[in-house]
C-alpha cells in the first residue's frame, strides 16, 4: 500500500505529541539516539521550522484530535537557546489553537542537560506553560561522566540543581544511570554501588517528583560498545549490576518513590502521564528527524471510520533529508517509512508495554480494544502464570508480580510462541476509543 492511499484518522480522540530535537553538544559514548553535534553550519533554525511545518501539516489533517501531553526530547532540547525555544513553544501552541478553542495540555515535559540549564531557560519554560523538566544527570561523579563521554561536569549539575531549586516550581525528573563500564579491575565496579547510592541520597534531598533509574545497555552502534569490545573499558558483571540496581531501587522506594514502571520511580501521583499513555499504547504523533508515530489510519478507498487500522510512521534519521521533506507544501507523510501493525502484533505490543507497569494492563481498556480479556485469549498460559505467582488479576487489571517483571523477556517469549494460535488470526482491533468512551 502506498502512503498516498492512507489517511490518518481524524476524530474525537486524544493523542500525545513527541518532538525530537536532534542536537547535542557532542555525542555521548553510550548513546544510540539520533542526534548530531551542533557545528556552525548545522541547520538548527531550519529543523525547528521543519518541525513546525510538520506539525501544521498533521494537525490540519487531524482537526478534531486533542493533544493530551507533549514531550520535547532528543537530543538536547535545552541546547536550542532562548530564541528557538520560544519559536518552538509558541509555534506548537499557536498551530494547535488554529483548530482548538482551548489549550488543555495535561503535561508538557522538556528534556534538559545540566550544562544548558540557565535562569533564562527556566523562565522560558515557565512563560510557555511547561509543567515538567527532565534532567539528564546520569551521575554526580566526574569520573563516570568522563567514561560516559558526557559533555558536562558535576559542577554544571550542582549549579543546575541550585537554579532549579531556587526558580522552578513545576515537576522535575532526574535520569540516572547504573551499570557504567569501568576502566580497570572489577573491585572498582563495586565502588559504583557506593557512589550511586550517595548520588541518590543527595538527589532525594531536593525532593524531585520523579526519578528514572536506567541500567546502561551496550548498544552496538556506539563508541562504548567499541571500547568494551576492544578492552579499553570493562563491562560490569551482570549479577553485580543487577545487585547494585536493586539496592538503588530499594533506596528510592524507602524514600517514598513508587517503582511504577521497570525503570521509573514516582512520588505520590507524580507518574509521567506522557509515558503512561505510551505504555498503555495510546496513539502518539512524533515530530522531527527519526521520530516515531503510532496512529490509527484508514484507507482512502475504504472510508469506513468504524474500522481504522494501526500504522507506525518512522521519520528518517537524516537532518538534510528532513529539511527537504518538511520544506514548503510537501506532505511530510509521503516520504516517511510506514508499517501497518497487524491486530495480532498490536495485541502483542499492548502486552509487552503494559506488563512493564506495576499496575499492568487495564482490563476495561484491553477488552474494549480487542473484544476479549487476556485470560480468554491465552487461558492456559494465564492460569499457569497465576499458579506460579508470576501474574495477578485484579478487578480492573492484569499485572505481573515483582518476580514476573524481572523475567518479563522470558514471559514475552512464551506469549510470542502462542501468537500462532488460530484464534489470534480472528482478533480485531477497536482503537482508539472516542473521548466519550475514554472517560
Ligand atoms: S546528551 Fe543525551 S541524547 Fe545527547 S548524546 Fe548524550 S545521551 Fe545522547
Over 70: is that where the pLDDT of 436 sits?
no
Predicted confidence at residue 184, as pLDDT, reads 64
Mean pLDDT of the chain: 93
pLDDT digits (tens, 9 = 90+) for 108-151: 999 999 999 999 999 999 999 999 999 999 999 999 999 999 99
351-367 as b/e: b if 16+ CB within 10 A: bbebbbbbbbbbbebbe
Peptide bond into 75 cis (omega under 30): yes
Cell of 53: 511545518
Predicted confidence at residue 303, as pLDDT, reads 65
Compute the half-sphere exposure of residue 414: CA atoms within 13 Å on the CB side of its CA.
12
Structural domain for 370, as ranges: 344-438
pLDDT digits (tens, 9 = 90+) for 402-426: 899 989 999 999 999 888 877 788 8
Single out the residue in 242, 276, 310 at which a domain terminates.
276
**Backbone angles phi and psi of 145, in degrees to 5:** -60, -35
Quickly count: other Cβ atoms within 10 Å of residue 164's Cβ. 22
Are residues 16 and 278 in contact, defined by beta-carbon separation less than 8 angstroms?
yes
For the CA of 27, the nearest atom of ligand 1:
5
pLDDT digits (tens, 9 = 90+) for 35-69: 999 999 999 999 999 999 999 999 999 999 999 99
Is residue 160 located within the same domain as residue 66?
Answer: yes
Predicted confidence at residue 186, as pLDDT, reads 55
Is residue 251 located within the same domain as residue 160?
Answer: yes
Q: How far is the CA of 26 from the centre of ligand 1 (A)?
A: 8
Q: How far is the CA of 31 from the centre of ligand 1 (A)?
A: 6
Predicted confidence at residue 327, as pLDDT, reads 82
Single out the residue in 241, 276, 311 at which a domain terminates.
276
User: Residue 89 sits in a domain of what CATH number?
Assistant: 3.80.30.20
Q: What is the reported pTM?
A: 0.95
Cell of 245: 540496581
Question: Does the beta carbon of 75 sit less than 6 angstroms from any atom of ligand 1?
Answer: yes
Pocket test for ligand 1, best of 75, 160, 214, 291 (most atoms within 8 A of CB): 75
The more confident residue out of 385 and 330 is: 385
Q: How far is the CA of 397 from the centre of ligand 1 (A)?
A: 36
Ligand 1, atom 7, lies closest to the CA of 31
Question: Does the beta carbon of 136 sit less than 6 angstroms from any atom of ligand 1?
Answer: yes
Pocket test for ligand 1, best of 21, 24, 144, 180 (most atoms within 8 A of CB): 24
Predicted confidence at residue 437, as pLDDT, reads 57
Is residue 7 located within the same domain as residue 151?
Answer: yes
Place of cell 518513590: 257
Q: Which of 120, 157, 122 is nearest to 136 (CA)?
A: 157
Is residue 222 located within the same domain as residue 354?
Answer: no
Peptide bond into 432 cis (omega under 30): yes
Instruction: Find the helix or strand (DSSP H, E) in which 321 lies.
Output: helix 319-326
For the CA of 149, the nearest atom of ligand 1:
6
Q: How far is the CA of 21 from the centre of ligand 1 (A)?
A: 11
pLDDT digits (tens, 9 = 90+) for 218-274: 999 999 999 999 999 999 988 889 999 999 999 999 999 999 999 999 999 999 999
Number of domains in the chain: 2
Are residues 140 and 155 in contact, defined by beta-carbon separation less than 8 angstroms?
no
Question: Does the beta carbon of 161 sit less than 6 angstroms from any atom of ligand 1?
Answer: no
Predicted confidence at residue 301, as pLDDT, reads 78
Amino acid at each position: 500500500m502506498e502512503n498516498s492511499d492512507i489517511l490518518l484518522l481524524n476524530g474525537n480522540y486524544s493523542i500525545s505529541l513527541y518532538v525530537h530535537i536532534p542536537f547535542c553538544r557532542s555525542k555521548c559514548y553510550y548513546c544510540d539516539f539520533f542526534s548530531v553535534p551542533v557545528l556552525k553550519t548545522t541547520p538548527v533554525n531550519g529543523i525547528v521550522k521543519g518541525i513546525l511545518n510538520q506539525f501544521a501539516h498533521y494537525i490540519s489533517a487531524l482537526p478534531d484530535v486533542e493533544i493530551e501531553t507533549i514531550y520535547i526530547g532528543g537530543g538536547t532540547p535545552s541546547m536550542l537557546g532562548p530564541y528557538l525555544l520560544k519559536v518552538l513553544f509558541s509555534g506548537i501552541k499557536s498551530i494547535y489553537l488554529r483548530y482548538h478553542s482551548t489549550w488543555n495540555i495535561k503535561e508538557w515535559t522538556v528534556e534538559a542537560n545540566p550544562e544548558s540549564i540557565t535562569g533564562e531557560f527556566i523562565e522560558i519554560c515557565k512563560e510557555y506553560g511547561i509543567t515538567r523538566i527532565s534532567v539528564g544527570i546520569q551521575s554526580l561523579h566526574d569520573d563516570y561522566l568522563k567514561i560516559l563521554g558526557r559533555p558536562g561536569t558535576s559542577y554544571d549539575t550542582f549549579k543546575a540543581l541550585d537554579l532549579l531549586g531556587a526558580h522552578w516550581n513545576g515537576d522535575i525528573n532526574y535520569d540516572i544511570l547504573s551499570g557504567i563500564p569501568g576502566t580497570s579491575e572489577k573491585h572498582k565496579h563495586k565502588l559504583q554501588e557506593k557512589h550511586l547510592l550517595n548520588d541518590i541520597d543527595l538527589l532525594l534531598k531536593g525532593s524531585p517528583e520523579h526519578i528514572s533509574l536506567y541500567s546502561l545497555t551496550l548498544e552496538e552502534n556506539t563508541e562504548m560498545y567499541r571500547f568494551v569490545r576492544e578492552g579499553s573499558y570493562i563491562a560490569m558483571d551482570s549479577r553485580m549490576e543487577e545487585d547494585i540496581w536493586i539496592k538503588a531501587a530499594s533506596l528510592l522506594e524507602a524514600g517514598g518513590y513508587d517503582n511504577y514502571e521497570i525503570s521509573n520511580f514516582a512520588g505520590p501521583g507524580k507518574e509521567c502521564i506522557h509515558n503512561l499513555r505510551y505504555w498503555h499504547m495510546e496513539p502518539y504523533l512524533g515530530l522531527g528527524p527519526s521520530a516515531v508515530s503510532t496512529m490509527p489510519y484508514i484507507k482512502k478507498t475504504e472510508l469506513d471510520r468504524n474500522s481504522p487500522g494501526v500504522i507506525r510512521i518512522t521519520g528518517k534519521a537524516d537532518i538534510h533529508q528532513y529539511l527537504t521533506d518538511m520544506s514548503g507544501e510537501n506532505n511530510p507523510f509521503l516520504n516517511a517509512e510506514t508499517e501497518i501493525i497487524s491486530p495480532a502484533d498490536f495485541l502483542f505490543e499492548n502486552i509487552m508495554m503494559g506488563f512493564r507497569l506495576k499496575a499492568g494492563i487495564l482490563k476495561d481498556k484491553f477488552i474494549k480494544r480487542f473484544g476479549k480479556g487476556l485470560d480468554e485469549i491465552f487461558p492456559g498460559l494465564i492460569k499457569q502464570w497465576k499458579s506460579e505467582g508470576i501474574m495477578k488479576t485484579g478487578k480492573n487489571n492484569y499485572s505481573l508480580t515483582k518476580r514476573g517483571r524481572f523475567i518479563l523477556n522470558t514471559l514475552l517469549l512464551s506469549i510470542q510462541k502462542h501468537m500462532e494460535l488460530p484464534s489470534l488470526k480472528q482478533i480485531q482491533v477497536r482503537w482508539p476509543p472516542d473521548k466519550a468512551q475514554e472517560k
